[in-house]
Amino acid sequence: MEVFSDPVCFLAFGFGSGLAPIAPGTFGTLVAIPIYWLAANLSAPVYASLVIGLSIAGIYICGRCEQRLKAEDHPGIVWDEIVGFLITMMFVPPTWAWVLIGFLIFRLFDIWKPWPIGMLDRTVHGGLGIMLDDALAGVYAAIGLLLLRTGFGI
């Protein structure tokens, strides 16, 4: 299937970034940065609503593309990384330093998959499964950034 000819897979593949021959998840996360810059100055409720909407849409988009490709959790499907990064950046100011730290911490949690992320990745399938582990990695990364921002509550 040609990703660029199928609108659902085009979105699922992060506008083509998922076609990267190595580390498609990293390239998908890079695509999330300009999306974040466009949304960063929205009010907190509007930003959260956007992320929730993209997450719900992602369940359909990722699941449908997975079905069309006939490949479970295809590595080129990176919509989940885009949403995971947007979750990561919810509680920090929009500066290059926070974007870089958020990118690194999100990729760490997305690759490492600490409990329960790894367990969910192995047991929940379809569009929900694709989205869930990266959304949770984004939550973990957001907590990490919040701790860094507040000085670990010290």
- pLDDT per residue over 93-136, tens digit each? 999 999 999 999 999 999 999 999 999 999 999 999 999 999 99
CA–CA separation, 35 and 85 (whole Å): 10
What's the whole-number mean pLDDT along residues 66-86? 96
Domain that holds residue 61: 3-153
CA–CA separation, 154 and 152 (whole Å): 5
CB 127 within 8 A of CB 64: yes
14-65 pLDDT, tens per residue?
A: 999 999 999 999 999 999 999 999 999 999 999 999 999 999 999 999 999 9
CB 44 within 8 A of CB 99: no
Model's pTM, two decimal places?
0.95
Total domains in the fold of the chain? 1
Locate all alpha helices (DSSP H) within the chain, ordered by sequence.
7-12, 24-39, 44-69, 79-88, 96-112, 117-123, 126-149
CB 3 within 8 A of CB 16: yes
